[in-house]
Structure formats: C-alpha cells, structure tokens
A and B are shown apart, each in its own frame.
Chain A
Amino acid sequence: MSGWLARIRGGDMGALPAICGLLVLGLLFTLLSPYFLTERNFANLLTQAATLVMLAMALVFVILLGEIDLSAGVTSGVAMCLFVALSAPGGAALDWKTALALALLAGILIGAFIGFFVARIGIPSFVVTLGLFLGFQGLELMLIGSGGVYRITTPAILAIMNDNLPAWGGWVMLGAMLAVSAATALVDRGRRARAGLQNPPLLRLWLRACILLVIGGTVIWLLNQDRGTGLVAVAGVPIVVPVTLAILWAGTFVLDRTRFGRYLYAVGGNAEAARRAGIKVVMIRWCAFIVCSTLAVVSGLFSASRVGSVDAAFGRDIVLSGVAAAVVGGVSLFGGRGRLMHAAIGALVIAVITNGLGLLNLPGGVNYLVTGGVLILAATVDAVSRARGAAPRR
C-alpha cells in the first residue's frame, strides 16, 4: 500500500485517473438517465466496448515501443473481408475454422510486413502504417467489391457477441479467475520465500481476492438477471467477456513474466541501453507489430460478430478511438509505460461516454466533442503527474 502511494507520488498514476473517470461518468449517467444502470444496458455496454477494448490492447504492444499502428483497424477489415470471402457460401465456401485461421495468418503477415519496414528498413511507423491505412481500404474494396456487404452466417462467430454463458458458466469463470490469481500470487510468494526475501502480508492477497469477488460477483449477478424484452429469457455473461479476459490475462502474463515482455518495456524505455544489454532490438520491434496486427484481427472478429456483416469500410473509423482508449487508460505514447489493463479501462471509459450520451438522446456531435475532451484531459493528467515525478528530490 505504501509502495503504491509512493508510485503515485512519483508520477506513475497508472490507470487511477481512468478508474476515477469511469466511476464519475457512471455516476453521472446513472443520475441523468434511468436506462443507464439497467441489466440490459450493462450487457449492451460490455459488448459495445469489447471491440475497442481488444483493439486498444492490441495497440499497447506497439505503443509501448513508442511506435504507432494506424492501420490496425483496416488490418482487421482486410482480415475479415478475407474471412467472409473465404467462408461465404457464394465464395470459396471453406470451413469457417480454416477461414478464421487464414484470417489470423493474414494478421500475422501484415504485422510482419509493417515490422519489416519499421524495424529493418527504419521508416517511422507513423508513415508505414498511414500508407497501409490508405492502401488497405483499397484492398478491402477489391476483396469485397464496391458497395458489397457480406452477411456473417457462421453461428460460432455470431455467438461471440450475441450469445451468453449459462448462469453457472459465469460463476465458473469467476472461480477460474480467483484460482488463477491466487495461484500466481502463491507461486510468486513461494519464489520470494525460497530466495529468503520477506513477503508482503498475506492479508493483501485476501484483500485482492475479496475485491475481485465483490466486483466480479456483482457484475455476474447483474448479467445473470433476465434482461429479455419478450417471451424468451436473455441472461448470462456474454461470451465475448471470458474471451477478452483470457486474452487480457495471457497478454499480461507475457508482458510481466517473460523475456519478450520485459524487452518490450526496455526497448521502449531506452533502445540503446537495451541494445548494449544484448537484446535483439530489431527482433523485438518486429514481433511487437506482429502481435498488434494479430490481436487487431481478433478485435475485427468481435466487431463482425456484433454487426453481423462485413462491408468495404470495415474497421476504418475505429483505430484512432483505440489509440485514444490506450492514452486515456494511462499508456504513454512515448513508450515504455502502460499495461494491457490500462488500455482496457481506457476503452471502457470511451465506451461509457458513447453509450451514456446515446441514452441521453444528445446529437452525435456531442459524443465526439466529449471523447476528445476526455482524451486531452487524460494526456494532461499524465504529463503533469510525470513532470512532478521527474523533478529532482534531493
């Protein structure tokens, strides 16, 4: 706890401003609209946010290096166009699993392509991905035909956003989260104990478990209520939630506990120091773009599942929101600072703004204005807190 306070005083606010923003916005919209805090809107909000959460998490991998991927949205578009072209009955009519694997492979290849130009040739990522942002819009058109819209008919894809876990499934998910969280904490404690180091009091572990239990329990209980409008009961945790949580957990594991993750932070912090420490900087950069593009395809999958169709402009408008989400969550555009969780929380903030303002029947322009204002506010909080943290203290 004292270490946490010291970090905040040291200018490392992390996701704290974003969490506060989330609470304030939630409270505000609850007061302003009777529909905001209903079971139905809550589930709706989560599925609305999922695409942006996924894209923001994808972007974290390159933003940590101080790079940017402006083509992440259209990359997901190209992959999804490829998916529908390959799997649609009128097209290649491949099995949907094969088509999905090929779409993910396309994401990997696109990431490798960007990484080649940025890491090997040395072109700024802004330029490379801006070029692809323009080029891929053309590629989407060519894959899908102008004005064409493909409907998604694969039940498994549609299920991600539109189907729910059974009531017990939600509780199993919470149980798994608690188990994984406790297991990693216990392994960490074991290793510290074996090294002869003092462990923080066990109380902290219980506290964390309780917080997870209370928040997770409330969310799952809410989602397990019947939110249907007609005769059929609609209840349960949307399938996209466990999928996103699993990817969040895996990504955080890689960033915190493996060499690739550590080197990503090191290169983002001081590339020359990383090089002298024997880190293959080019390889790390390259891999980061591959991870980003591949996860961007997953976000495209979420979006396609929600919309139910893919058109030639798929993914064009979302990428800047993704960058904004990461920054609002506390991920530094200068590189080296930020976590996947921060980006996810930032994306939730932006989704809450869109959702809440929509419920208030305000004109669409207001949404953009407020989102932009929040972004600048978040960047200001980051800059001010960092300037204070960097000031000499002795």
Chain B
Amino acid sequence: MDAPLVELTGVRKSFGPVSVLKGVDLTVYAGKVTALVGDNGAGKSTLVKGLAGVHPYDAGTVRFAGEPVQLHAPRDAARLGIEVVYQDLALCDNLDIVQNMFLGREELCAGTFDEGRMERETAAALASLSVRTVQSVRQKVASLSGGQRQTVAIARAVLKKARLVILDEPTAALGVSQTAQVLELVRDLAARGVAVIIISHNLADVFRVADYINVLYLGQMVAALKAAETSHNEVVACITGLKSTAEPAT
C-alpha cells in the first residue's frame, strides 16, 4: 500500500462549549475514494471545513504527503491542491462553461483574455473525465442540467490540478441516471491519481464508488472500513452508534 496523501491524527474542534470533533483520525490515499458517512451532526462538515481551511482545527496534526502542514485559511488548502466542491456548486449561471472553469484565474495574453487557450484546456479537462454529455463548452451554465453542473464543478477542480478533491453530497439533488454519471466521474477522478473524499447520506452510492468507508458518530471516528470487506448493515450499525470497530479516542 502506498503512503497516504492525507493523515489526520487526534483532530479536535469546538465551537464555544460544543465539542464537535473529539480527536478524529482519518487517512486518505491518492487514487482512492474515501467516503465519509455519519448521521446529521456527527461532524462530517466540520471535519471537511478544517481540511479546506475554512474552520481551522483546534488541535491535532495534519500531514499532507508526509509533511506536517498548517491549514489556517482557504488559500493554505488551495496552495496544497485541496479543492472542495460544495453542495451549492458555486457556479455563475450567466457565464459559459469556459468562463466558469477559469473564473478567478483567467489566462491572459497581452493583458486580455486568451480565450482560445482557455477553451482548449476546458475541453481537455472535460474530455479527460470522459464527459460526453456537454454539447459545447461555450454553453451558458444556466442551460445545463444538475448532473452537468456537478460535472463542471468537478472538472474545475481537475483543471486546478487538485491532489485532493472533497465532494460534499454530490448526488443529493440528482436523478438516477445523472447520479450514475457523477459517480462514474468520481471513479475517473480517482483513476487519475487524485485522492477523493466524498460525503454522502446515500449508502448505495457510497458502496458504488468508495474504496474506504469512514464512519463518524458524535464527533468520533467509530469505524474505518474497507468497502469490499464490509456490508450495508455493518455501516448502518456504526452510523447509528450500535457498533464500533475502532477504539474511540478519548
């Protein structure tokens, strides 16, 4: 087994008197999909926001590619190549796909946009994810379906050469065929050597894409399972707190 890309050890986070993360360990491998599951309030979002640098951890160590790192601000995370695809996608409806993909870091040539280069790189990023459903990269995002939007948001992370992509409920608002599309995309992403963390409430989806399943229960990591060696029932038991395979940290 390769060395992990991200290693969290004994991570803690409190908001005032409320202790949300009570010493959490998490290991994420490059080229693998790591699912993060747990009931509402288990601490999934807080764990992810710490990695994104939005709400820095209070205590614990974060190792990225073996090196201890500090994540105090979103730009710290961006510098390491950590990209978060939020649930509400953060795309501008009135711009086209190319413009959205390069928003905030447009390629310039003599002070003006090099549209040709941006269009080619957008097409290349979409093609590398085997996206075939988008007719034209010059389409306005407003005209895209939910699955296509999710695709664009994920492709944007690819374009930024992300090493760790965190997907927050990527299939929550999608229909059956679009969910399948996005899950395939997640597998492609991992196949490119990117480490993927996926947060989901849908265990069927999780079992379809994940290599590892990590279960949070009330701020503690109660299970770190291999997807191939566990079952739906075991994961549900962990989520509801009936079972714990890991020693809960104190």
Contacts and interface: CB of A to CB of B under 8 A. Distances in A.
Interface of A: 3, 10, 12, 188, 191-197, 253, 257-259, 262, 265-266, 268-270, 272-274, 276-279, 336-337, 389-390, 392-394
Interface SS majority for chain B: loop
Question: Which one of B89, B90, B105, B112 has the greatest number of beta carbons of chain A within 10 Å?
Answer: B112
A268 B94 contact: yes
Contacts of B236: none
19 contacts: A3-B136, A10-B142, A188-B115, A188-B116, A191-B114, A191-B116, A192-B115, A192-B116, A193-B116, A195-B114, A197-B119, A197-B120, A258-B112, A262-B113, A265-B92, A269-B95, A277-B90, A279-B103, A394-B145
B117 interface: yes
B119 A192 contact: yes
A393 B199 CA distance: 29
Question: Which one of B89, B99, B120, B143 has the greatest number of beta carbons of chain A within 10 Å?
Answer: B143
B93 A269 contact: yes
Contact of B104 (A193, A253, A268, A279): A279
B182 to A, nearest CB: 15
Given A259-B108, A269-B93, 8 more contacts: A188-B116, A191-B115, A258-B113, A265-B92, A270-B94, A276-B90, A278-B105, A389-B142
A31 B143 CA distance: 42
Nearest to B89: A273
Contact of A262 (B88, B106, B109): B106
Contact of B92 (A197, A273, A392): A273
Interface residues of B, number: 31
Contact of A10 (B103, B111, B143): B143
A272 B103 contact: no
Interface of B: 86, 88-95, 99, 103-106, 108-109, 111-117, 119-120, 136, 138, 140, 142-143, 145
Per CB-CB distance, the 6 closest pairs between chain A and chain B, nearest first, are A277-B104, A195-B116, A269-B94, A336-B94, A269-B92, A192-B116
Contacts of A10: 140, 142-143
Contacts of A257: 112-113
B173 to A, nearest CB: 13
B90 A272 contact: yes
Contacts of B115: 188, 191-192
Nearest to A10: B143
A8 to B, nearest CB: 13
A271 to B, nearest CB: 9
Nearest to B110: A187
Contacts of B88: 272
A3 B138 contact: yes
B113 to A, nearest CB: 5
A196 B116 CA distance: 8
A159 B113 CA distance: 37
B143 to A, nearest CB: 5
Given A270-B92, A279-B104, A394-B145, A197 B111 contact: no
